Copies of this chain bind each other. A is one copy, B any other.
Amino acid sequence: MSYELTILGCSSAIPSLKKNPTAQLLNANERFFLIDCAEGTQIQLRKYKFKFQKISRIFISHLHGDHYFGLIGLLSSMHLLGREKELHIYAHVKLKQIIDVQLEASNTELCYPLFFHIINPETDEVLFEDKKIKISTFPLSHGIDCNGFLFEEKRSPRKIISEKVKQYNIPVEQIKTIKNGKNFISEDGRVIFNSELTIENKKPSSYAFCSDTKYCESIIKKIKGVSLLYHEATFMNDRKNRAKETNHSTTIDAATIAKLAEVSHLLIGHFSQRYRDENLLLEESKSVFKNTLLAKQGQTINFSDL
């Protein structure tokens, strides 16, 4: 099972020949979530050899074009390729109108069930939850309605030690309860404590996506201790006034949030096109938060490597 994040695009504002605006694919144990969907995202998915029909849920942070202009094309291609599986979109209310008016204009009735889940831009909320994952959203601060997303893998049951199964002759039907933490009563009536029979499974992965936003301390408590935080860093610190004016963050802002939230790793992206050498942004961020990574188009980050 794998927990991986692929950067399909990480530039800001305008697509160029080499750099696509924001789109990311999170593979959470073979469930595929698309986060933002700039123009050209369907081509990026093809380029990096992802079968886009596998995507089950799409999360759109806000309605600036560099975060969603590729969505209608992706939905349309899924339709033309005969998708049958349902698709869920989580976004602000206006996106539903944008999609509906375009489907109506082309007289298209999608051949797959599309569920649109409206995000409330004012409050935190859980968007999806099952036994394996919890996905929630929280407001960012970007001038227009804008939300971050938090993907939290749930802790797996403990692993049972196979030698102990043999040693105490544990019947199959009790293994599940032992994995969930129960003790075992052996044939001779002894209590065998769970801690002797099992070991903890790997630490669950968690991913927080925060783009776009100005420096915003209210998000710290939501993203506390995540394995990986993606936080936009459009500008370097010498343009901190420009960052404020445009409701964006600097590298120092992103790194400060990462430090205060005690995250394991910080991934910065959404760089202004003025920066030719993005390593300068990396170095500046590292000066505040050492475990900073630079988002690079096409890269896949495996959470088990963090």
Contact = CB atoms under 8 A, between A and B. Distances in A.
A54 B265 CA distance: 44
Interface string A57-75: 0000001110001101100
A143 B107 CA distance: 9
Contact of A14 (B69, B77, B144): B77
24 contacts: A14-B77, A14-B81, A15-B73, A16-B46, A39-B40, A39-B70, A39-B73, A40-B40, A40-B43, A63-B102, A63-B105, A63-B106, A65-B72, A65-B76, A65-B102, A65-B106, A69-B72, A69-B76, A92-B105, A98-B98, A98-B105, A101-B101, A106-B144, A107-B143
Interface residues of A, number: 35
A95 interface: yes
Contact of A42 (B15, B80, B92, B104): B15
A135 interface: no
A104 B63 CA distance: 10
Give me the 6 closest cross-chain CB pairs, A-B, nearest first.
Answer: A63-B105, A94-B105, A39-B73, A65-B76, A69-B73, A14-B77
A274 interface: no
Interface of A: 13-17, 39-40, 42-43, 46-47, 63-65, 69-70, 72-73, 76-77, 80-81, 92, 94-95, 97-98, 101-102, 104-107, 143-144
A157 to B, nearest CB: 42
A107 B144 contact: yes
A101 B92 CA distance: 13
A94 B98 contact: no
Nearest to A17: B46
Nearest to A94: B105
A80 to B, nearest CB: 5
A86 B245 CA distance: 27
A72 to B, nearest CB: 6
Contacts of A16: 43, 46
Nearest to A15: B43
Contacts of A46: 16-17
B15 A64 contact: no
A43 B63 contact: no
Contacts of A13: 80
Contacts of A97: 101
A68 to B, nearest CB: 9
Given A40-B39, A40-B43, A73-B65, A14 B80 contact: yes
A291 B103 CA distance: 38
A144 B65 CA distance: 27
A47 B97 CA distance: 33
Nearest to A66: B76
